[in-house]
Amino acid sequence: MKTNLLNFDLPGLTRYFDEIKEKPFRAKQVMRWMHLAGVNNFTDMTDLAKSLRAKLEAKAEIKVPELIVEQKSLDGTRKWLLNVGTGNGIETVFIPEDSRGTLCISSQIGCALECMFCSTGRQGFNRNLSTAEIIGQLWWANKALGVTPKEERVISNVVMMGMGEPLANFDNVVTALNIMLDDHGYGLSRRRVTVSTSGMIAQMDRLKEEMPVALAISLHASNDQVRDRIIPLNRKYPLKQLMAACERYLVKAPRDFITFEYIMLKDVNDKPEHAHELIELVKNVPCKFNLIPFNPFPHAGFVRSEQGRIKIFREILLEAGFVVTVRKTRGDDIDAACGQLAGKVQDKTKRQQKWQLVQGVS
Ligand code: SAH
Ligand code: SF4
Per-residue pLDDT of the chain (362 residues; tens, 9 = 90+): 999 999 999 999 999 999 999 999 999 999 999 999 999 999 999 999 999 999 999 999 999 999 999 999 888 899 999 999 988 999 899 999 888 999 999 999 999 999 999 988 888 899 999 999 999 999 999 988 876 554 567 899 999 999 999 999 999 999 999 999 999 999 999 999 999 999 999 999 999 999 999 999 999 999 999 999 999 999 999 999 999 999 999 999 999 999 999 999 999 999 999 999 999 999 999 999 999 999 988 889 999 999 999 999 999 999 999 999 998 876 766 666 665 665 677 777 766 665 555 555 43
Alpha helices, DSSP H, located in the chain: 10-19, 24-31, 50-59, 119-123, 131-144, 170-181, 201-210, 224-230, 239-250, 272-281, 307-319, 351-359
pLDDT for residue 81: 92
The reported pLDDT for the residue numbered 103 is 96
User: 70 - beta bridge partners?
Assistant: 80
118 an active-site residue? no
218 Cβ inside 6 Å of ligand 2 = yes
The number of C-alpha atoms within 13 Å of 308 and in the hemisphere containing its C-beta is: 1
Q: In angstroms, what is the span from residue 325 Cα to ligand 2's centroid? A: 21
- Reading across the β-sheet that carries 214-218, which strands appear in turn? 66-72, 78-83, 89-96, 101-104, 157-160, 193-197, 214-218, 258-264, 287-293, 323-326
State residue 361's pLDDT score.
45
65 Cβ below 6 A of ligand 2? no
**CA-proximal residue: ligand 2, atom 6 (nearest):** 121
What is the C-alpha to C-alpha distance for residues 203 and 274, in angstroms, rounded to an integer? Answer: 28
Element of type H or E holding 260: strand 258-264
Indicate if ligand 1 lies below 6 Å from the C-beta of 105: no
In sequence order, the 6+-apart residues with CB closer than 8 A to the CB of 282 are 243, 260
Measured from the CB, is residue 161 less than 6 Å from ligand 1? yes
* CB 6 within 8 Å of CB 16: no
Residue nearest atom 1 in ligand 1 by C-alpha distance = 165
State the CB neighbour count (10 A cutoff) for residue 290: 19
Boundaries of every domain in the chain: 3-61, 66-359
The CATH homologous superfamily for domain 66-359 is: Aldolase class I (3.20.20.70)
Which of 111, 115, 118, 338 is labelled catalytic? 338
Q: Which ligand is nearest to the CA of 166?
A: 1
Tell me, using a 6 A CB cutoff, whether residue 111 lines ligand 2.
yes
**From the alpha carbon of 340, which atom of ligand 1 is closest?**
22
The count of other CB atoms within 10 Å of the CB of residue 184 is: 19
Residue 362 pLDDT: 36
Please answer whether residues 80 and 70 qualify as being in contact, where contact means their C-beta atoms are separated by less than 8 angstroms.
yes
Closest to 294 in 3D by CA, of 332, 343, 242, 347: 332
91 classed as catalytic:
yes
Q: What is the Cα–Cα distance from 323 to 170, expressed in whole angstroms?
A: 30
Helix (H) or strand (E) holding 193: strand 193-197
Cα-flanking dihedrals φ and ψ of residue 344, to 5°?
A: -135, 105
Give the whole-angstrom CA distance, residue 343 versus residue 346. Answer: 10
Fill in the amino acid letter for 130. S
Choose which residue among 123, 165, 167 to substitute to test ligand 2 binding: the one with the highest number of ligand atoms within 8 A of its C-beta.
Answer: 165
pLDDT at res. 352: 62
**Residue 108 Cα to ligand 1 middle (Å):** 13
Task: Select which of 22, 66, 91, 209 is catalytic.
Answer: 91
Nearest to 115 by CA among 285, 302, 291: 302
Q: Is 66-359 in the same CATH topology as 3-61?
A: no
Distance (Å, whole) CA 88 – CA 132: 15
Ligand 2 pocket, 64 CB below 6 A? no
Topology of domain 3-61, CATH: DNA polymerase; domain 1 (1.10.150)
- Nearby residues of 68 by Cβ (< 8 Å), 6 or more positions away: 81, 82, 83, 89
Q: Does any ligand 2 atom lie closer than 6 A to the CB of residue 196?
A: no
pTM for the predicted model, two decimal places: 0.93
CA-wise closest residue to 125 among 357, 331, 354 = 354
Contacts of 117 (CB under 8 A, 6+ apart): 220, 230, 263, 265, 294, 300, 302, 339
- Residue 107: the pLDDT is 97
